[in-house]
Amino acid sequence: MINVIVGKKGSGKTKKLIERANEAVSKSSGNVVVIEKGNTLTYDISHDARLIDIDEYGVQGADSLGGFICGICAGNYDVTDIFVDSTLKIIGQDMGDLTAFAEKMDALSSLSDIKVTLLISANESLLPPALKAVSAVV
């Protein structure tokens, strides 16, 4: 099961992501990866986390982001946590694509024993039931 931090703009999602990522760094015996769009979290996330600006790699769309994350896991056996900030800005606003992406991340999480957390800027009531089935909304 993956975690989803959801809420409208200005609801404190990024603050929760920063707290959870820094907590994961302090508890992890492996690597914590934080994927962001742009480089706004540089001074907020512990330097022990691997902070990735997804824009530097030209990743756009759910399939591209999914492949990118699978590549991270394939190349680094010791990844314990992955956080994705601005998920909808990266993959687009289509809730069907979001659901399919979340299902893929849930499968990856189960296979690799990696905790995946997605930050979604939307009203929780707009989330499809299929997304809620594979995730824990926090």
Position 118 confidence tier, pLDDT thresholds 50, 70, 90: very high
What pLDDT, on the 0 to 100 scale, is given for residue 132?
84
Query: Contact, 4 vs 124, CB < 8 A?
Result: no
Q: Please tell me what DSSP assigns to residue 118.
A: E
Q: What is the pTM of this model?
A: 0.94
Contact 41, 51 (CB under 8 A): yes
pLDDT digits (tens, 9 = 90+) for 66-107: 999 999 999 999 999 999 999 999 999 999 999 999 999 999
Backbone angles phi, psi at 34, to 5 degrees: -120, 120
Cβ atoms of 120 and 94 within 8 Å: the answer is no
pLDDT tens for each residue of 5-62: 999 988 999 999 999 999 999 999 999 999 999 999 999 999 999 999 999 999 999 9
Written as six digits, the tokens of 39 are 């480089």
